[in-house]
Homo-oligomer: A and B are copies of this chain.
Amino acid sequence: MEMKRLGRQTVRLGHPVSVVSFANVGGKLEGHGPLAEHFDERNDDSFFGQKTWEKAESIMQQHAVQHALKKGGLQAEDLDYILAGDLLNQCIGSSFGLRDFGIPFYGLYGACSTMGESLALASLLIDGGFAHLAAAVTSSHYCTAERQYRMPVPYGNQRTPTAQWTATASGCCILGQQGDGPYITHVTCGRIVDMGITDPNNMGAAMAPAAYNTLAALFRETDTTPADYDLIVTGDLGALGHDIVCDLFAKDGINMDERYTDCGLLLFDRKKQDMHAGGSGCGCSAAVLNGYLLNGMREKRWNRLLFAPTGALLSPTSSFQGESIPAICHAVVFSNAKGDL
């Protein structure tokens, strides 16, 4: 059998997999930020009409899928797989949000890399001949993450300057064997990278080495450089992590320059909205991709996009036990050119 691997981490798909439809949902801060016009649904109520924030997060995932299905003229029965996960303990955002669709379901845990992981596996399932259509979904919610990982929300604890703001948002991308693009051409699977960082208020620093590891593997294995992409976007490294990635590449003589940015820097206006180091959470990269970025590709603003969200694979328990923060980054290449393999 022909092997589609270019190296240790990168797969070149046998056939380009097309984006068929995409949609996103955002909360109040997200919906009033710089990307306001790129949301399919914006809701100023952090409960989304539910009794708890956890149920609100499930509703966001459900709505993101519903919007994506509707925009694509599809029914739930048309999807062969749905791949999803989130930050909540036992990923209940996904299991409760998606239970009523009846779509064959593979649950994932990639922390804030989940949008990358779900797109990667959905692409591979389609390219492998196992699915016509597959959806990738994830979410995060400021209030569910804050109380699970840090402090009760009403306590209003002070945040460190390196802290990021978990996005209240969800995104869904439906991929297919057929479609008018953008197309996914390459997928780079991350390895767990742990550089010994232990400060859970500085996720950018913990995750940047994972982003560097995966992006460096992708450049090496595809024989490309940053200049080959119109835009390179990490998931939620924020200001600090973004700069660390640039520094790590600079040591290799590679200039990431202005074509490299981070979803955590795009989602909020850091000056007006006081988000400290920027946005974070699975929903951050999911909402930015499935709105602003894919809209921009369809409008030919960018023709080749490298999307590489990172995840911090810690838990409050591991931090309490003195552990460092392992991280991972999953990358996907989108191109407007079908033959761009």
Contact = CB atoms under 8 A, between A and B. Distances in A.
Interface string A121-140: 10011011111100000000
A15 B128 CA distance: 12
Interface residues of A, number: 65
A295 interface: no
A127 B99 CA distance: 28
A318 B51 CA distance: 12
Nearest to A313: B95
B1 A104 contact: no
Interface stretch (A19-27, A38-46, A61-69, A107-115): A107-115
Contacts of A48: none
Contact of A1 (B95, B103, B129): B129
A191 B192 CA distance: 29
A3 B90 CA distance: 33
B124 A314 contact: no
Contacts of A190: 104-105
Given A3-B132, A85-B109, A99-B326, 10 more contacts: A2-B129, A5-B131, A54-B321, A89-B317, A90-B314, A92-B314, A104-B191, A106-B110, A107-B109, A121-B121
A263 interface: no
A228 B68 CA distance: 41
This protein's copies in its complex: 2
A198 interface: no
Which of A81, A124, A148 neighbours the largest number of chain B CB atoms within 10 Å of its CB? A124
A63 B107 CA distance: 25
> Interface centre among A189, A316, A321, by most B CB within 10 Å?
A189
Contacts of A243: none
Nearest to A86: B109
A317 B189 contact: no
A102 B214 CA distance: 12
A88 B88 CA distance: 11
Interface string A165-189: 0000000000001000000000001
A192 B129 contact: no
A192 B105 contact: yes
Contact of A315 (B11, B90, B117, B120): B90
Q: Which 7 A-B pairs have the closest CB atoms?
A: A128-B128, A95-B313, A90-B315, A104-B189, A99-B192, A109-B109, A89-B89
